[in-house]
Copies of this chain bind each other. A is one copy, B any other.
Amino acid sequence: MAGNADLDGVFNPKSVAISGISTNRAYDGIAETYLRALIESEFNGPIYPINPKGGEIRGVKIYPNVKDVPDSLDYVICCIPAASVPQLVKDCAAKGVKAVQFFTSGFSENGTEEGRRLEAEICDIARQGGIRLIGPNCMGVYCPKAGLSFAPDYPTESGPVAFICQSGGNAIYFTRYAAQRGVRFSKVVSFGNAADVDESDLLEYLTNDTETKIIAAYIEGLKDGRRFSKAVRRAAAAKPVIMMKGGCTEAGARAVASHTGALAGSARIWDGLLRQAGVIPVATLEELADILVTLLYLPVPHGRRLGAIDAGGGAAVVATDAYVSAGLDLPPLPQELRQKLRSFLSTDAGLSVNNPVDLAGQFYNTSAAYSVVKTLADYGGVDILVFHLPLGINPPFPSFPKEFAIVILDNAIRVHNETDKPMVVVIDQITTVESWETAIACQQKCQQAGIPVYFSVSSAAKAIGRFLSYHEKRTKLAD
């Protein structure tokens, strides 16, 4: 349906109106939240709050109707009740608006004849007026470059990841969660019922979008399976595509039907489609963040051989099982290398110097720890270093001290800066609120240094395994 030119109005508006603004709520409602989000995202153009009563909000004049906006108007965010929506779309058409996004729900997803009729009606009006619709029943667009957003705390900086999401709630959570994990976005689109702009339109647009290097998607159901199949194959041929399918069980499909009115389709057909297209499948939103972090921060390694640095025998055993279960290799180290590694460490510590190398208490001995990590990085027999920092192993501290953790990570970061060996960091065994504070501070430090961080060995293992399989498959195809 839509070429790229067609959706440019969605991602590059010069002016935005918000319909449904109220000045007398105790807490910000959704319309006021959109206003705050646009202000915080530094939207680079006029913002027009709309309410029939007029007035002012946050120092911005409120207009009674979109038609009263003095200049041209590109984009409208609609937060008014469903019954009033047809008139709003008519007014938008009269005003020459290019795109409208609808937070408003109460359309086809509620399963009533009236809901379906209303949704068809606004589509008709929009088509005649040359307006593209996002939603209804969605959060709309977060596009940092354009200053569009649906949450006031999202990063203002752009990045290479696009995320399309049929669920508004999952879009809100995932964007925030992934941002905290170090992911930056070109575009996020929560598109709800997909009455007009749908998953295939978005995939086609993003395939050609030079600002998007990676496409992530949460899909509940499809409008047109054949078109989607074609769009997803093209997208995955052009750039990495990762997808999570909501409603992959019978009861899940029922929940989908009443959520976005979509037909969930069979899990088996879906799996086959993704595999053939070369899409990376994930089962949870947290797994989606893990694989994005990996794609963004981990250079493609030469193979699946891990060199693991650990702290504590039990943590090393658990980590090893997780890595190997995910299809990664931990080759035993040659005797000569083991002797060299052991030479850096105090001899009475009872450490295992194999693979993993268990640093145990000598994590704190920074020069020894540095030498171990550097030596393992220089060894050609491993392709990726995994530096594991379990925060729970110390008896004296209910919460592992942040300053200790930072010092320990400095060695990993120093080696990362000095060598080309791909490296990941795992921070786990997180118990208290204070240890989460430590974990997140450590993660941000690693992220700034360009090292991907995971919060469990199993999530690290799964993400690295998927990443390697993706690249191995592509290499095979290219041969």
Bound-state CA distance A252–B313 (Å) is 11
| Given A105-B350, A110-B350, A431-B176, residue A259 in contact with residue B314 (CB < 8 A) | yes
Q: Is A41 positioned at the interface, with any CB of B under 8 Å from its CB?
A: no
| Given A284-B458, A348-B81, A394-B172, residue A355 in contact with residue B318 (CB < 8 A) | no
Contacts of A105 in B (CB 8 A): 349-350
- Contact across chains for A173 and B433 when beta carbons are under 8 A apart: no
- For the side of the interface on A, what is the size category? 35 or more
Q: How distant is A271 from chain B, measured CB to nearest CB, in Å?
A: 14
Q: How many copies does the complex hold?
A: 2
Q: Is A109 positioned at the interface, with any CB of B under 8 Å from its CB?
A: yes
Q: Is A320 positioned at the interface, with any CB of B under 8 Å from its CB?
A: yes
Q: How distant is A103 from chain B, measured CB to nearest CB, in Å?
A: 10
- Contact across chains for A254 and B354 when beta carbons are under 8 A apart: yes
Q: How distant is A373 from chain B, measured CB to nearest CB, in Å?
A: 18
In the complex, the chain B residue whose C-beta lies closest to that of A457 is B284
Q: Which of A1-9, A47-55, A242-250, A405-413 contacts B (4 or more CB under 8 A)?
A: A242-250
In the complex, the chain B residue whose C-beta lies closest to that of A352 is B258
- Contact across chains for A314 and B392 when beta carbons are under 8 A apart: no
Q: Is A220 positioned at the interface, with any CB of B under 8 Å from its CB?
A: yes
Bound-state CA distance A332–B253 (Å) is 12
- Contact across chains for B395 and A429 when beta carbons are under 8 A apart: no
Contacts of A248 in B (CB 8 A): 321, 325
- Contact across chains for B176 and A354 when beta carbons are under 8 A apart: no
In the complex, the chain B residue whose C-beta lies closest to that of A82 is B348
Contacts of A440 in B (CB 8 A): 432-433
Contacts of A393 in B (CB 8 A): 169, 172-173
Q: Which of A29-37, A86-94, A295-303, A415-423 contacts B (4 or more CB under 8 A)?
A: A29-37
Bound-state CA distance A312–B456 (Å) is 27
Bound-state CA distance A356–B254 (Å) is 10
Contacts of A433 in B (CB 8 A): 433, 436-437, 440
Q: How distant is A170 from chain B, measured CB to nearest CB, in Å?
A: 4
- Minimum-distance CB pairs A-B, first 3: A167-B314, A173-B392, A169-B312
Q: A82-B348, A258-B354 are in contact. List 15 more A-B contacts (CB 8 A).
A: A107-B350, A151-B395, A152-B398, A167-B312, A169-B312, A170-B315, A173-B315, A177-B392, A220-B314, A246-B314, A246-B318, A248-B321, A259-B313, A432-B440, A433-B437
